Structure 1
Amino acid sequence: MEKESATIHIQTRLTPSEYEPFKTVIENFDIKKAELFRKVILSNEKNMVEVSGSVEETDAQKRIIFLANKTSNNINQIAKKLNQAYRGEVVSERNYHKIMNELIGVRSAFEKGMDKC
């Protein structure tokens, strides 16, 4: 049986504090970084780690982000149309300020809601 060669390259970054225990092993046991991390990864019996969040949570987060982007875009489009109407003298200054204040309120409520997510 032919030996399978390692051809997949994996790269990651660690903070200095995360790297420190590995650095000690590398220096004291004269082992290359790649060899050490390969052994660490493959020593996990099932080659699995616990990842926070389920697929459903991730899908829900993606949906929230999509809706937030869409809502933000709609608010910006309304503000743009209002500005164009005001410059074209289609909307009175009184109505312009009233609607802009309402839009600012909507934006503030939206931002507060997003902060809670």
Structure 2
Amino acid sequence: MKLSFPFGVVMCAQGRGFTPREQGPRRGERQLMARPKKHGDEASKPVSFRLAESERLAYLAKCEAAGLSPSDFFRQCVLTNRTQIVARPKASADRNRLLFLVNKTSNNMNQLAYRANSDHLAGKLSEDKYEALIDNLELIARYLKATINHVD
């Protein structure tokens, strides 16, 4: 059986005719199909955040109690300003500098405590000197923490 098409006759190997499909891309070529453009104010940008398991369960319970999906519940709470958020004040340059110095100092203090502990266990540092050193390190740490609270 022979079929006639505008571009010629197509026969299969067994001698039967068939309807050819439209020619797609050749090997190594990609056929690009544009996705239809969305119009309007549709939700297209994802927003995500992490929650602890207990917070997640509480969030989902509130969503279910409100009869809304988690996305709709979040939109309603945030976009209609049904929440009250207390903004933290930005840290001043002085506070940032102090935090940097405290972090550096804490690192050095940890190194001193480690060395004192290993020397004490090896018998190179007496019990009295070891306790005095640890007490001084704790005093310095308390002083640094107190200083952070009084900046700004």
TM-score interval for Structure 1 and Structure 2 normalised by the shorter chain: 0.5 to 0.7
- 1:36 positional shift: 2.0
Is there any run of 5+ residues in structure 1 with no aligned partner, and where?
88-92
Q: Is the 8 A contact 1:75 1:103 kept in 2?
A: no
- 1:15 positional shift: 5.8
* Structural RMSD (CA): 4.2
Radius of gyration: which is bigger? Answer: 2
Structure showing the higher helix proportion among its residues:
1
Identity of aligned residues (%): 18
Matched ranges for 1:15-34 at <5 A: 16-17=57-58, 20-26=61-67, 31-34=68-71
TM-score, length-normalised on structure 2? Answer: 0.44
- 1:70 positional shift: 1.7
- Tell me which of the two structures has the higher relative contact order, counting C-alpha pairs closer than 8 angstroms and 6 or more residues apart: 1
Match of 1:90 in 2: none
- Give the length in aligned residue pairs: 101
Matched ranges for 1:74-93 at <5 A: 74-78=108-112, 80=115
Match of 2:86 in 1: 50
Q: Is the 8 A contact 1:75 1:107 kept in 2?
A: yes
Matched ranges for 1:1-117 at <5 A: 2-4=39-41, 5-13=43-51, 14=55, 16-17=57-58, 20-26=61-67, 31-44=68-81, 49-51=85-87, 53-56=88-91, 60=95, 63-64=98-99, 66-78=100-112, 80=115, 96-97=125-126, 99-113=129-143, 116=146, 117=149
Q: Is the 8 A contact 2:109 2:137 kept in 1?
A: yes
Give the residue type in structure 1 aligned to 2:107.
Answer: N
Q: Is the 8 A contact 2:106 2:141 kept in 1?
A: no
Distance, in Å, in 1 between the alignment partners of 2:106 and 2:143 is: 12
TM-score, length-normalised on structure 1? Answer: 0.53
Is there any run of 5+ residues in structure 2 with no aligned partner, and where?
1-38
